[in-house]
């Protein structure tokens, strides 16, 4: 997952509940059109100019990354005028650069790139742009805005902020409330941004104190191990924020093994298993904060619009925006059914 861009660009706020809903129709001006859901094409799905989209992402070694690939593929299939050239994906920057250069040499019309490392792949983004191939930079941002035509991705700071506010509202009537945090990889800017957002939100609730924090590694195994340590060190607390639903599977195992049910838990990202647990409502997990992989579907919508020289429906501009930051919605039992179809495995 990603680094937060230094400039937020166009923040869609509440209108961007998920990436599938951000672009109600990339090329439509009909206000009566239904918003694009995860399993539907954008409103203007009438065939237009044929567009070949090259898609290059990292290796799908995490549930969220696998969902990114699935969303891109399924979205492209909705359009009879879109051909998707997709790479195998790699976490090796040199290998991914080679894959993107192959797509450039094939003269695809538009590129959608989720770089394994935004900084390391900036030059190949520049190369594509200079070759006249517009780039949709997905999530992990390149170092230079000259390396992409449009950036679309999630809001890591917003994840932490919304998680903190949700927990704060749940605990605002409790004196001396204690919360703990199970973070991701601390060397990633995204983890730092999620923690900052969480801490900033808690400043609004003077009755709440964060008493412990552990960094895990976005895996089930690390989530279980680090959560076990937190539980052993903290005999009493009121809420837990876990940055990632994949590592949350392990965290929930540790919680069950410890026989603990005396606190509420908020997750992050939007895994199907988290949605199912929230709906069942018989455990500590009460909510999760979205980092929607449906952004890849919207990236395909944007790429198609670029290839057909169209804008975004619902906006006055003739061109698509330079930057789109998705909203980190909180999903709990009151709205989980709305998001169930977007949950990733």
Residue 326 in this model has a pLDDT that exceeds 80: yes
Q: What pLDDT is stored for residue 224 in this prediction?
A: 98
Which of 37-41, 232-236, 266-270, 311-315 shows the lowest mean pLDDT across its residues? 37-41
Q: What pLDDT is stored for residue 10 in this prediction?
A: 32
Q: Report d(CA 36, CA 32) in Å as an integer.
A: 12
Q: What pLDDT is stored for residue 314 in this prediction?
A: 87
| CB atoms near residue 312 (< 10 Å) | 26
Q: What pLDDT is stored for residue 211 in this prediction?
A: 98
Are 184 and 246 in contact by the 8 Å Cβ rule? The answer is: no
For residues 294-323, average pLDDT: 94
Residue 39 in this model has a pLDDT that exceeds 80: no
Q: What pLDDT is stored for residue 28 in this prediction?
A: 38
pLDDT tens-place string over residues 13-26: 333 333 333 344 44
Q: What is the DSSP string of 34-75?
A: PPP-TTS--S--S--S-EEEEEE-----SHHHHHHHHHHHHH
Q: Computed over its alpha carbons, how large is the radius of gyration of the chain? A: 20
Given its phi and psi angles, is residue 85 left (phi above 0), alpha (psi -120 to 50 degrees) or beta? beta
Q: Report d(CA 304, CA 306) in Å as an integer.
A: 5
- 1 versus 287: the higher-pLDDT residue is 287
In CATH terms, the fold of domain 18-154+293-326 is: Rossmann fold (3.40.50)
3-state secondary structure of 258: helix
Q: What pLDDT is stored for residue 137 in this prediction?
A: 98
Q: Is the dihedral of CA 167, 168, 170, 176 positive or negative?
A: positive
Nearest to 114, CA basis, from 159, 59, 52:
59
Are 342 and 39 in contact by the 8 Å Cβ rule? The answer is: no
Q: Report d(CA 211, CA 253) in Å as an integer.
A: 22
For residues 262-291, average pLDDT: 97
Highest mean pLDDT among 41-55, 249-263, 305-319: 249-263
> What are the residue boundaries of the structural domains of the chain, listed by start?
18-154+293-326, 156-290
Q: What pLDDT is stored for residue 322 in this prediction?
A: 96
Indicate the average pLDDT of the chain: 89
Q: Report d(CA 322, CA 209) in Å as an integer.
A: 39
pTM score, two decimals? 0.84
Q: How buried is residue 32: exposed, middle or buried, by Cβ count under 10 Å (0-12/13-18/19+)?
A: exposed
Q: Report d(CA 324, CA 331) in Å as an integer.
A: 21
Q: Report d(CA 73, CA 247) in Å as an integer.
A: 25
Residue 97 in this model has a pLDDT that exceeds 70: yes
Are 26 and 320 in contact by the 8 Å Cβ rule? The answer is: yes
Q: What pLDDT is stored for residue 63 in this prediction?
A: 87
Specify which residues 150 forms β-bridges with. Answer: 136
pLDDT tens-place string over residues 107-127: 999 999 999 999 999 999 999
Pairing type for strands 51-56 and 110-113 reads parallel
CB proximity list for 334: less than 8 A, separation 6 or greater = none
Q: What pLDDT is stored for residue 44 in this prediction?
A: 64
pLDDT tens-place string over residues 126-184: 999 999 999 999 999 999 999 999 999 999 999 999 999 999 999 999 999 999 999 99
Q: Report d(CA 194, CA 169) in Å as an integer.
A: 18
Q: How confident is the model at residue 58 (pLDDT cuts 50, 70, 90)?
A: confident
Asked if domains 18-154+293-326 and 156-290 share a fold, the reply is: yes
CATH superfamily of 156-290: Response regulator (3.40.50.2300)
Q: Report d(CA 61, CA 218) in Å as an integer.
A: 11
């Amino acid at each position: 997952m990603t680094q937060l861009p230094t400039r937020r660009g166009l923040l869609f706020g509440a209108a961007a509940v998920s990436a599938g809903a951000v672009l109600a129709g990339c090329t439509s001006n009909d206000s009566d059109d239904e918003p694009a859901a995860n399993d539907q094409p954008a409103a203007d799905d009438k065939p237009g100019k044929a567009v070949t989209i090259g898609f290059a992402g990292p290796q799908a070694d995490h549930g969220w990354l696998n969902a990114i690939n699935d969303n891109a593929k399924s979205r492209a299939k909705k359009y009879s005028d879109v051909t998707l050239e997709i790479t195998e994906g790699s976490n090796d920057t040199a290998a991914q650069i080679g894959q993107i250069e192959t797509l450039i040499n094939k003269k695809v019309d538009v590129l959608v790139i989720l770089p394994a490392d935004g900084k390391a792949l900036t030059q190949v983004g520049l190369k594509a742009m200079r070759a006249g191939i517009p780039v949709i930079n997905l999530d992990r941002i390149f170092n230079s805005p000259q390396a992409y035509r449009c950036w679309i991705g999630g809001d890591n700071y917003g994840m932490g902020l919304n998680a903190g506010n949700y927990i704060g509202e749940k605990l605002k009537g409790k004196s001396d409330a204690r919360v703990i945090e199970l973070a991701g990889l601390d060397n990633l800017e995204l983890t730092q941004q999620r923690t900052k957002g969480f801490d900033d939100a808690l400043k609004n609730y003077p009755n709440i104190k964060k008493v412990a924090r552990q960094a895990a590694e976005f895996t089930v195994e690390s989530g279980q191990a680090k959560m076990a340590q937190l539980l052993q060190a903290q005999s009493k607390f009121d809420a837990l924020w876990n940055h990632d639903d994949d590592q949350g599977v392990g965290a929930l195992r540790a919680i069950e093994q410890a026989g603990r049910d005396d606190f509420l838990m908020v997750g992050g990202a939007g895994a199907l298993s988290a949605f199912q647990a929230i709906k069942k409502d018989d455990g500590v997990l009460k909510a999760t904060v979205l980092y929607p992989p449906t952004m890849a579907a919207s990236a395909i919508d944007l790429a198609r619009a670029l290839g057909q020289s169209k804008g975004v429906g619902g906006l006055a501009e003739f061109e698509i925006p330079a930057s789109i930051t998705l909203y980190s919605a909180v999903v709990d039992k009151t709205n989980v059914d709305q998001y169930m179809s977007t949950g990733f495995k």
